[in-house]
Structure 1
């Protein structure tokens, strides 16, 4: 009985992480086109923005597409999507840290990357 309860708890934890890392990137990615939640361009490292061959707005739309696709992959194949989201969040955090802008957001993204990695690893146990 105890192993059944542990198994159910593990499955619930996995599902919570799966839907969080599936839905949140889709919502954030979609918002890159509308800027309803925030002005996403403010998070671009100014040095990096100057290197872009297009506007910051176009860059954020590309980022939005990547995030939407990553969220869909998490929902369909969490064992792969978790690693993609973890890597993506780590890159975002490192970019923010390089410019020493939004350090609080960078730390939050690193914590979320660890959670996404944990979800990917859990997916191998919870089938």
Structure 2
């Protein structure tokens, strides 16, 4: 595999591995932001528990997705891409945090790109 392609693949792998893990862990501490604010009022009303509990469940999913990217990159990248798309669509349908939705769609495309790069096999240079 071309060295630059390999570098891009590794950069995306570690980005989509560690960022979801950090964001997932933060769902338990709310250091980066108050994650419950992203739950729409209408959705919060139908939840059988507090929005903070939902965010902790989301956090667990994000941690698992990040670990999956680091261990089984192609599958993990597809999971992250679908997850980010689902988050973006939820935000778009509630018409809240549309800027975050756009950002998440761009990240979903990058995660999908990592999955496609994972199809490229490393070719050893012939002597």
TM tier relative to shorter chain = over 0.9
Give the structure 2 partner of residue 25 of structure 1: 20
Q: Give secondary structure in 2 for the equivalent of 1:101.
A: coil
The aligned length equals 122
Q: Which secondary structure does the structure 2 equivalent of 1:38 belong to? A: coil
| Cα pair 1:14 1:126 within 8 Å, conserved | no
In structure 2, runs of 5+ residues without a counterpart are 123-127
Which residue, 42, 47, 53 being the options, matches 2:48?
A: 53
After TM superposition, list the pairs within 5 Å mapping 1:48-87 onto structure 2. Answer: 48-87=43-82
CA distance in 1, matches of 2:42, 2:90: 10
Question: Structure 1 unaligned runs (5+)?
Answer: 1-5
In the TM superposition, structure 1's runs of 4+ consecutive aligned residues that sit over 4 Å from their partners are: none
SS of residue paired to 1:59: helix
Q: TM-score, normalised by structure 2?
A: 0.93
- How many Å apart are 1:113 and its aligned residue? 0.2
Pairwise CA RMSD of aligned residues?
Answer: 1.0
Once the two structures are TM-superposed, the CA of residue 126 in structure 1 deviates from its matched residue by: 4.3
